[in-house]
Amino acid sequence: MDAAAWDAKYERAELIWGAPPNDMVVEFCTSLPRGRALDLACGEGRNALWLATRGWSVDAVDFSSVALTKAVRIAATATASIRERVRWVHADVTTLTPERNYDLVVIAYLHLSRTERENVLATAVRALKHEGILVIVGHHSANLKNGVGGPQDPEILYSPDDLVADIGDGMRILVAEDRVRHVGDSAAIDALVVGRVTDE
């Protein structure tokens, strides 16, 4: 989907992904010492705002201006110190060239073509400082048959192994797992990868 299609989707409903942060982002980021985070494809900003609430300085990037407008509106209800810690960036993550300046990169439910995904993961790894952490969560390929929701195009879904292969030897993989997420009475299958940059 291009930016215009995402804008149209965000215009149709208020808070598509909900206000609370993603469970796996919470699970893997809660115990990290706060620093600088990059949220690639931040959407309405639920994860970026949660990180800012916990003291992180966050650059939150999305190519949907409608999503970012919503994110800013939601952030307006937070205290000034939280608001000031998030920089909302209107940009395409496939062409982003961030500095190597981050302690954490979060990518949640970003689904691109294989080549674009590889490029974005390489960008994410390059953006991380030594010991920096990458958390990627998305709709698993197996979700198509065995889970609910998510994109229905198998070309843009992935498994943890696909993500690990894309990352290559750029980092030490700490977690590569299938995760079940409960959606009402149904279940969705997510792919989760967490890695740490160990080179200098």
Ligand X SMILES: C[S@@+](CC[C@H](N)C(=O)[O-])C[C@H]1O[C@@H](n2cnc3c(N)ncnc32)[C@H](O)[C@@H]1O
Q: Ramachandran region of residue 184, left (φ > 0), alpha (ψ -120 to 50) or beta?
A: left
User: Applying CB under 6 A, does 27 fall inside the site for ligand X?
Assistant: no
Q: Does residue 135 interact with ligand X by CB under 6 A?
A: no
Collapsed DSSP state (helix, strand, coil) of residue 199: coil
Which range, of 41-49, 79-87, 153-161, 169-177, touches ligand X by CB under 6 A? 41-49
Closest contact distance (angstroms) between CB of 200 and ligand X is 29
Check: CB of residue 70 under 8 Å from CB of residue 48.
no
Binder to ligand X among 62, 103, 166, 190 (CB under 6 A)?
Answer: 62
In the complex, what is the shortest distance from the CB of residue 116 to ligand X, in angstroms, rounded to a whole number? 7
The DSSP secondary structure of 15-70, one letter per residue, reads -SS-SSPPHHHHHHHTTSPP-EEEEET-TT-HHHHHHHHTT-EEEEEES-HHHHHH
The CA distance from 175 to 25, in Å, is 13
- Nearer to ligand X by C-beta: 169 or 184? 184
In the bound state with ligand X, the residue whose beta carbon lies nearer, of 108 and 171, is: 108
* Among 24, 51, 60, 64, contact with ligand X (rule: CB under 6 A): 64
Phi, psi of 111 (to 5 degrees): -125, 115
67 is a site residue for ligand X (CB under 6 A)? yes
Provide DSSP, 81-121. HHHHTEEEEE--TTS----S-EEEEEEES----HHHHHHHH
Q: Does 38 bind ligand X (CB under 6 A)?
A: no
Pairing of strands 36-40, 102-108: parallel
41 lines the binding site for ligand X (CB under 6 A): yes
Q: Which residue's CB is nearer to ligand X, number 67 or number 127? A: 67
Tell me if 57 contacts ligand X by CB under 6 A: no
Which residue number has the CB closest to ligand X? 43
**Residue ranges in 73-132 that form contacts with ligand X under rule CB under 6 A:** 92-94, 108-110
The rounded distance, in Å, linking the Cα atoms of 28 and 146 is: 25
Can residue 43 be called a binding residue for ligand X (CB under 6 A)? yes
Query: Is position 157 an interface residue for ligand X (rule: CB under 6 A)?
Result: no
Question: Angle CA(151)–CA(179)–CA(162) in degrees, nearest 5?
Answer: 65
Q: Which residues bind ligand X (CB under 6 A)?
A: 6, 17, 22, 41-43, 46-47, 62-64, 67, 92-94, 108-110
